[in-house]
Structure 1
Amino acid sequence: MSAAQLVMPIAAPSFGDVRLRAFEERDADMLMDLSTDAYVPKTGSLPGNADHPEALAYIERQSSRLRTGAGYSFCVADKETDEALGTAGLYLAPIAAGRATAGYSVAPRHRGRRVAGHSLIALTRFAWSIPELHRIELYIEPWNTASVRTAEFAGFEREGLLRSHQEIGGERVDMLMYAAIRPTAATG
């Protein structure tokens, strides 16, 4: 898969009440809300308590993922109103080995409605449209029970604990490994 082949899907992936679409400038308010979560800025490129220009810069960084072949970065939107609710991403750095990693976040004012679970299901179904992909991995800190519930709701299985796996917020942290495997006719 080359960078030139990365384009947003023609039909927006969707599940339940959400659909995944490209970010637009009007999503800056949702991103400013998301940036108030103390954890989110530690795990990505959205600055804490982002202002409008910083939110727009984040949107541009997400758009660049397609151009560079790094992966797909989606705005999670309400299927009916198209209001921005959060983010979902499929990162293709390990695609040569048939793997990708996924991530998701929901703006604080939209939590508690299964937005993350529905967006992860939509993202996973979209991922299986990529022929080279056979496995999607999630890395979740053990304390993050909401994310564990989301992974399990979306059909991901826990595979183990990776000790001192990565640095988040300047500290080495353990991560739970969750994964989904491409369905086959036998498991389908």
Structure 2
Amino acid sequence: METIPKVDCQKIGYLQKPHGIKGEVVLQFEPEYEESLDEMPTLFLEIDGLLVPFFIQDEGLRFRSGESALVLFDWIDSEEQARKICGCSVYILKDDLILDNNELGLHMLVGYTLYDSEKGKIGPVVQVDDYAGNLILTVTYNKQEVLVPFSEDFLTRFDEDKKEMELQCPEGIFDL
């Protein structure tokens, strides 16, 4: 049996809890993936480290807000079955992402190599978080994770083909 590699997918959220007694679950997701989620008949749940496809029933997706939805999957038809999948991370294929063409999706920066205009190569971007509009890159540097603030004002080079970017990072950020 062939599995879906995680590198081909993007984590969009997680299953929070059951809703009702007919197998519905509450999906908490990042707002930037709402449009992609609306078009997906299949979501991938991380179970025992593997991505397993789960198919959404016809009319089985109801948005509650810009960050949560009620989902009813095929073959999940009781509260007990729904409870078993709660807590699972939810993924969709990167190829199926629908993004605003004017905006670089945050997930796209994961896997890029970060360079500092002073220090040179820093390391790979392993995570990108948005804290109230402040983008923070988690980068592996000297075998440690370093949080680097991201702003287009600091961007000095961006090479999409080589998956590299260079920032003029705040002084001393890598000396901690």
Same fold (TM over 0.5): no
Please report the TM-score for the alignment, with normalisation by the length of structure 1.
Answer: 0.25
The structure number with the bigger radius of gyration is 2
Bigger proportion of residues as strand: 2
Indicate the structure with greater helix content.
1
